[in-house]
């Protein structure tokens, strides 16, 4: 029997061969959440560079670039690695390794075997140089118009990304280009695949992050056509809550439920509210703090003996920035214990990993379900950041709200269609959460 490690290793080797020996101009790798995407990017980049060829690496945000620079520079001691940045960029101390050079012009990095920069920065590059190899990380978050600008710089490209996460965004109504195979509002990978139907994406087979309890739901709800398995089996990950509350509340109950099953849904009474609904915000903050107060411990393949859950391993996710601000204030009001808990929007949590996540359901308390709230990527990001358990907080009535708001977006001829649609994905997640529900009293 092959272990998950073996399967992942075989797939990585296949991807490397397809990219370096296949003579393909483009290779696409689809990755489910936590399947070792950036590890793959780091590894492919390192191996090509070590073999003697220059490599360009494209990421989407400065944080991702810094992360990749460190990863690659550590694997390539002695070979110079370039960090392409805007003028005046102050790299964090972790990036300043002896073999890292920082410059705002790519021609100032002539000796660098590997050059890493954001897509936006690459799109400004003015140079006569081209790179034989390029690796694009988070390619599903890059818009196709960006790809259009950077393609001429590279001969062969490896595009790695997670198709289930949030699509790139524009405030512009792009109906004008709907259905065009080069629609600039679509993701880089979507356009590349539409124009090059012979390219079949590779899929990473193992999610190292998601526990067995989450893999099945995330797969059926957000990746119905992919096959991926958890890297751990049921018993390997466990959550233990040693302290029993004296006066047990719904918050305690939902924590116990999530500790046992990996999922918990704290359901507040139905009410139509503002986005920053005080009760939901308070409940969300309570769950996060209570996890720490009760001395939660997690056991996993990294810590087989178990370890205490710290604030830094908890994330609180929400859809809107004002909700994030409200939850941050609520946590601050609960004292020092909450220091270090990351509270952020789905957009910014993309790519991050935590032990336990607490999320404010995007549709909680709303009177309507807009395309913004129905985007499957948003819910997918929120429900796939955790290694142990995910606790959702929301008001009663979300299924009814969904039923009342089927998608009404126009469908265009030859338009890019993405499965599953957000409505369906939301229903799947809700159906699952219904079995892990704790109702808060009035």
Partner 1 sequence: MTILTSLAKALAAYSMTPQQLTVYRHLHISSKPIVIVPLTLAGETNAPLAAMVGPDRARPTLIVTRQPRNRAERIEFAGRLASELLFPIETAAQQTQATGPGPNARLRVVDAPQLWVPNPAGIEFIRTLGRMTRLRFIEGPWAVPKKVRDLGIWLTWFAEQAEFADTGALIAATQAIAAVWATGQSDLEDGNLAAQMAWLAPPEGMDVAAAVSRAENPQLCPPAGPSTDPTFDRLFLEPALRDLATARNPAAHNAVHRRLTAMLEEQMRPTWELTWTAIDLLRDVPEAPRVPKRWEQQRDRFTSFHRYVADGGRPQAKRDSAGRSAQRLAELEQRMAAFEAQRAYDDPLVIADHRLTGEAFAGQVVDVDPARRVPGLRRNMLRPLVTVATGDQTHLDVGQHVYDPARNGQQAVIESVTETEDGWRIELELHNQMGSGLTAKPGSVPTLGEDVTYTSVTETFVRRRPWPTRDETPWTHGGPPPDSTPVVEDAAEDWS
Which of 156, 169, 178 is CA-nearest to residue 60?
169
238 touches partner 1 by CB under 8 A:
no
Judged by CB, which is closer to partner 1: 49, or 316?
Answer: 316
Minimum distance from CB of 203 to partner 1 (Å)? 20
Number of residues that bind partner 1 (CB under 8 A): 37
Find residue 230's DSSP bridge partners: 207
d(CA 124, CA 142): 15
Judged by CB, which is closer to partner 1: 61, or 249?
Answer: 61
Which of 325, 330, 287 is CA-nearest to residue 309?
287
Minimum distance from CB of 195 to partner 1 (Å)? 4
Judged by CB, which is closer to partner 1: 149, or 282?
Answer: 149
SS3 assignment, position 254: helix
d(CA 422, CA 42): 32
How distant is the alpha carbon of residue 269 from its chain centre? 30
- Judged by CB under 8 A, the residue of 63, 102, 148, 238 near partner 1 is 148
The answer to whether 419 and 164 are in contact (CB under 8 A) is no
d(CA 373, CA 210): 23
120 touches partner 1 by CB under 8 A:
yes
The answer to whether 439 and 396 are in contact (CB under 8 A) is yes
Minimum distance from CB of 149 to partner 1 (Å)? 5
- Judged by CB under 8 A, the residue of 145, 236, 279, 424 near partner 1 is 145
The answer to whether 366 and 373 are in contact (CB under 8 A) is yes
d(CA 97, CA 73): 7
341-400: which residues touch partner 1 (CB under 8 A)?
Answer: none
Minimum distance from CB of 399 to partner 1 (Å)? 26
SS3 assignment, position 208: coil
180-219: which residues touch partner 1 (CB under 8 A)?
Answer: 180-185, 188, 191-192, 195-196
SS3 assignment, position 357: strand
Looking from the CA of 10 toward its CB, the CA atoms found within 13 Å total 8
321 touches partner 1 by CB under 8 A:
yes
d(CA 48, CA 84): 19
Which segment (1-9, 144-152, 249-257, 303-311) binds partner 1 by CB under 8 A? 144-152
Minimum distance from CB of 186 to partner 1 (Å)? 11
- Judged by CB under 8 A, the residue of 123, 238, 300, 337 near partner 1 is 123
324 touches partner 1 by CB under 8 A:
yes
19-38: which residues touch partner 1 (CB under 8 A)?
Answer: 25-26
Q: Which residues form the interface with partner 1 (CB under 8 A)?
A: 25-26, 120, 123-126, 144-145, 147-152, 170-172, 174, 176-177, 180-185, 188, 191-192, 195-196, 321-322, 324-325, 332
């Amino acid at each position: 029997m092959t272990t998950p490690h073996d399967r992942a290793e075989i797939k990585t080797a296949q991807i490397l061969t397809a990219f370096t020996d296949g003579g393909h101009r483009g290779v696409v790798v689809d990755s489910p959440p936590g399947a070792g995407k950036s590890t793959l990017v780091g590894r492919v980049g390192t191996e090509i560079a070590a073999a003697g060829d220059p490599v360009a690496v494209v990421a989407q945000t400065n944080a991702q670039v810094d992360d990749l620079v460190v990863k690659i520079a550590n694997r390539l001691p002695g070979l110079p690695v370039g960090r392409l940045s805007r003028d005046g960029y102050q790299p964090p101390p972790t990036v300043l390794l002896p073999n890292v050079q920082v410059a705002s012009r790519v021609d100032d990095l002539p000796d660098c075997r590997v050059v890493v920069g954001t897509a936006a920065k690459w799109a400004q590059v003015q140079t006569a140089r081209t790179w034989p190899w390029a690796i694009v990380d988070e390619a599903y978050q890059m818009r196709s118009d960006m790809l259009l600008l950077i393609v001429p710089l590279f001969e062969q490209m490896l595009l790695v990304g997670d198709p289930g996460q949030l699509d790139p965004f524009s405030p512009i109504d792009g109906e004008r280009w709907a259905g065009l195979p080069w629609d600039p509002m679509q993701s880089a990978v979507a356009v590349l695949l539409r124009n090059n139907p012979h390219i079949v994406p590779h899929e990473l087979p193992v999610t190292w992050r998601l526990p067995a309890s989450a893999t099945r739901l995330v797969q059926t709800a957000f990746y119905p056509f992919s096959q991926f398995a958890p890297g751990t089996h049921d018993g390997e990950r466990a959550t233990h809550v040693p302290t029993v509350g004296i006066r047990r509340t719904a918050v305690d109950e939902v924590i116990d439920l999530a500790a046992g099953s990996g999922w918990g849904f704290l359901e507040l009474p139905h009410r139509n509210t503002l986005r920053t609904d005080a009760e939901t915000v308070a409940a969300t903050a309570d769950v996060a703090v209570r996890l720490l107060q009760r001395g939660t411990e997690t056991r996993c393949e990294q810590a087989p003996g178990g370890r205490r859950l710290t604030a830094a391993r908890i994330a609180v996710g929400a859809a809107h920035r004002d909700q994030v601000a409200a939850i941050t204030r609520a946590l601050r009001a609960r004292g020092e214990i909450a220091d270090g808990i990351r509270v952020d929007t789905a957009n910014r949590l993309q790519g991050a990993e935590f032990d336990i996540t607490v999320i404010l359901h995007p549709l909680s308390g709303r009177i309507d379900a807009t395309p913004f709230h129905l985007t499957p990527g948003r819910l997918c990001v929120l429900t796939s950041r955790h290694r142990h358990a995910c606790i959702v907080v929301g008001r009663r009535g979300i299924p009814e709200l969904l039923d009342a708001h089927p998608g009404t977006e126009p469908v265009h001829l030859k338009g890019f269609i993405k499965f599953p649609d957000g409505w369906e994905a939301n229903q799947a997640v809700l159906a699952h959460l219904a079995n892990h529900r704790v109702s808060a009293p009035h």
